[in-house]
Copies of this chain bind each other. A is one copy, B any other.
Amino acid sequence: MLMPRPRLYLRDDSHPQARACAACEVRRSALFGALDAAGLERVHVDIAALLLAPGERVYARGEASAAVFTIRAGIVRFERVTAGGARRIVRLAGRGDLIGAEALLERPYHDEAVACTEVQLCRIPQALVGELGGAQAGLLHELMSRWQRALDAAEAWAAELSAGPARLRMLRLLALLDRHRDDDGLIWLPRRDEIGAMLDMTFETASRLVSRLRREGVLEPLPPRAARVDAGRLAAALVAADA
């Protein structure tokens, strides 16, 4: 997958990095604003300044991460492609926001980040924050990992459960609930109005969909609030509805 890195327009050659960060006009709101002068002196890694044109990509989904970015100006959007191939924008980020935090966990980027307007970025190599946490580095890593997991779940919710026809959203919700099934193989089946609050539909529509899936053998409701799903038929229904 040929993937050109963002072009590097500007680079401050002064060392240490302290000079550049101390002079940064968005320092108060920037990531390293929390470091005092002494702390900045210790930062010896190059923080590259990038300038992206609208439509240029910061990083791609699945790309190995090597850096985290701070937005100094402009708007960046995050895109995901659903299982069916539809492209969905799940979030925007602007000045002062941190993007690509997966890099701190040494994981591939989870979604695609694209410049909406002209964008100024600071590119912070992953190694720079590597020694964070000190003795409790492991715990800190776990903590950040949970945060990232929550963010991932929230973006997946926006991409998968908030778009497309009602039946498709319903099927995707069942697939999600199936990942939380208990030891007896049962899933939690929400009340109809709760399904409505999740999938942005009326409880009548939710009821119709559940009833139809029951008639199709995809779902067997076991009142109250439980059900058994036929994983095979669910998968089949998903690919049929997704196409």
Residues of A at under 8 Å CB distance from B? 31-36, 39, 54, 75, 77, 79, 87-95, 97-99, 101, 104, 116-117, 129, 132-136, 138-144, 146-151, 153-155, 157-158, 162-164, 176, 179-180, 188, 190, 194, 197-198, 200, 225
Q: How far is the CB of A180 from chain B (nearest CB, A)?
A: 5
Q: How far is the CB of A199 from chain B (nearest CB, A)?
A: 9
Closest 9 CB pairs of A and B: A162-B162, A98-B146, A34-B138, A154-B154, A163-B200, A34-B142, A147-B147, A89-B198, A158-B158
What are 9 A-B pairs with beta-carbon distances under 8 A? A31-B146, A34-B138, A34-B142, A77-B194, A101-B146, A129-B139, A133-B140, A150-B151, A154-B158
A241 to B77 Cα, complex, angstroms: 26
Q: How far is the CB of A208 from chain B (nearest CB, A)?
A: 19
Q: How many copies make up the complex? A: 2
Q: How far is the CB of A90 from chain B (nearest CB, A)?
A: 6
A132 to B90 Cα, complex, angstroms: 32
Verify A140–B132 contact, CB threshold 8 A.
yes
Which one of A99, A133, A151 has the greatest number of beta carbons of chain B within 10 Å? Answer: A151
A133 in complex: contacting residue of B94, B97, B133, CB < 8 Å: B133
What residues on B are CB-neighbors of A158 within 8 Å?
A: 154, 157-158, 162
What residues on B are CB-neighbors of A157 within 8 Å?
A: 90-92, 158
A35 to B138 Cα, complex, angstroms: 7
What residues on B are CB-neighbors of A198 within 8 Å?
A: 77, 89
Verify A91–B154 contact, CB threshold 8 A.
yes
What residues on B are CB-neighbors of A98 within 8 Å?
A: 143, 146-147, 149-150
Q: How far is the CB of A184 from chain B (nearest CB, A)?
A: 13
What residues on B are CB-neighbors of A179 within 8 Å?
A: 94
